[in-house]
């Protein structure tokens, strides 16, 4: 069968930059972007053109930040996407390479964050499972000090982004990808979870706040109903733009009412449904 022709619209670097400016992205601001390349249309140059367009809209004084999670650096006993045989678990634990911000690829966040991660001059934070990468003059200020026992809390780039009045861009991505909501989980009563992962000295276990994007779509719907969110199109992608601080503050009020959780230590949920292995946006 012949290959079907590509579907549009045709999107270029200039298209992305122009549409982002129309949406309200400002030169010099800090932008936390959650992205889906496939939602944009037929992009000439793919992810590279999208990153160029984002940087063009932000200008030389702006800073682009993306999540570069590597949730596969985790205990294989909890993998479900796909699971692996039980008799492999010990070998995987002893053989898995530890996190290296320069080498470890991102997983489950799509090709645009991976392109940012490998961009000339990009920096990456230190957490082995929930790192962020950034390009721009404020990258180090945002990323430095990401504690290895604080995935998305007060000692993560999210808290820096909140304090620096950064905004979130959902570019073809839904509220289920909105990492800013996770910062609120650290500020309301939440269970703790034991996390297994490879470390510099071998396999290690740390106790962390449990994070889960369950019901984030519902949370996002209510947030957009009650708070100012700029909406528009970038190419064919639906885009949303709003302050990190607004999203965190709203989630701090919403989560205790809609998802009450008791303080306890839990085992993590299967990684097919947990934060660490979110759906990829290709």
pLDDT digits (tens, 9 = 90+) for 142-178: 999 999 999 999 999 999 999 999 999 999 999 999 9
Mind listing the pLDDT tens digit for each residue in 41-68?
A: 999 999 999 999 999 999 999 999 999 9
Domains: count for the chain: 1
pLDDT at 268 over 80: no
Taking residues 183-212, what's their average pLDDT?
Answer: 93
CA angle 84, 103, 151 (to 5 degrees): 70
Query: What does the buried/exposed string (b/e) look like for 207-226 if buried means 16 or more CB atoms within 10 Å of the residue's CB?
Result: ebbbbbbebbeebbeebeee
Is residue 281, in this structure, part of any structural domain at all?
A: no
Is residue 96, in this structure, part of any structural domain at all?
A: no
What is the distance between the alpha carbons of residues 94 and 43, in angstroms, rounded to a whole number? 41
Is residue 45, in this structure, part of any structural domain at all?
A: yes
Taking residues 183-211, what's their average pLDDT?
Answer: 93
* Number of other residues whose CB lies within 10 A of the CB of residue 256: 15
List the domain range (segments joined by +) for residue 129.
10-71+101-189+212-258
Is residue 171, in this structure, part of any structural domain at all?
A: yes
Q: At what angle do helices 13-23 and 46-58 cross, to 10 degrees?
A: 40
What is the distance between the alpha carbons of residues 10 and 6, in angstroms, rounded to a whole number? 9
User: What pLDDT does residue 269 have?
Assistant: 54
User: What pLDDT does residue 261 have?
Assistant: 58
Is residue 93, in this structure, part of any structural domain at all?
A: no
Is residue 252, in this structure, part of any structural domain at all?
A: yes
Confidence band for 276, pLDDT divided at 50, 70 and 90? very low
Tell me phi and psi for residue 132, to 5 degrees: -125, 150
* Number of other residues whose CB lies within 10 A of the CB of residue 129: 22
pLDDT above 70: percentage of residues in the chain: 92
CA angle 125, 168, 220 (to 5 degrees): 115
What is the separation of C-alpha 139 from the centre of its chain, rounded to a whole number of angstroms?
16
User: What pLDDT does residue 4 have?
Assistant: 76
Cβ neighbors of 107 (< 8 A, separation 6 or more) are 69, 70, 71, 72, 277, 280
SS3 state at 10: strand
Average pLDDT, the chain: 91
Is residue 151, in this structure, part of any structural domain at all?
A: yes
pLDDT at 281 over 90: no
User: What pLDDT does residue 22 have?
Assistant: 98
Taking residues 10-14, what's their average pLDDT?
Answer: 97
Is residue 142, in this structure, part of any structural domain at all?
A: yes
């Amino acid at each position: 069968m012949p290959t079907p022709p590509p579907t549009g619209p045709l999107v270029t670097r200039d298209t992305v930059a122009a549409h982002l400016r129309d949406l309200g992205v400002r030169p010099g601001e800090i932008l936390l972007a959650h992205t889906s390349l496939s939602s944009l249309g037929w992009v000439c140059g793919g992810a590279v053109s999208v990153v160029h367009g984002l940087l063009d809209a932000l200008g030389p004084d702006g800073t682009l930040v993306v999540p570069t999670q590597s949730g596969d650096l985790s205990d294989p006993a909890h993998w479900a996407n796909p699971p692996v045989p039980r008799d492999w678990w010990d070998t995987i634990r002893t053989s898995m390479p530890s996190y290296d911000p320069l080498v470890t690829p991102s997983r489950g966040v799509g090709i645009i964050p991976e392109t940012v991660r490998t961009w000339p001059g990009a920096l990456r934070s230190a957490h082995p499972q929930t790192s962020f990468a950034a390009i721009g003059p404020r990258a180090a200020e945002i990323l430095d000090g990401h504690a290895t026992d604080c995935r998305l809390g007060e000692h993560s780039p999210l808290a820096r982004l909140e304090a620096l009045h950064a905004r979130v861009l959902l570019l073809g991505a839904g509220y289920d990808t909105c990492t800013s909501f996770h910062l609120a989980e650290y500020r309301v009563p939440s269970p703790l979870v034991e996390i297994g992962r490879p470390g510099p000295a071998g396999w290690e276990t740390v106790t962390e706040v449990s994070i889960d994007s369950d019901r984030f779509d519902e949370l996002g719907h209510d947030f957009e109903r009650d708070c100012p969110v700029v909406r528009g199109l970038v190419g064919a992608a639906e885009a949303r733009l709003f302050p990190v601080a607004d999203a965190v503050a709203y989630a701090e009020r919403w989560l205790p009412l809609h998802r009450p959780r008791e303080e306890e230590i839990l085992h993590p949920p299967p990684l097919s449904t947990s934060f660490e292995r979110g759906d990829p946006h290709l």
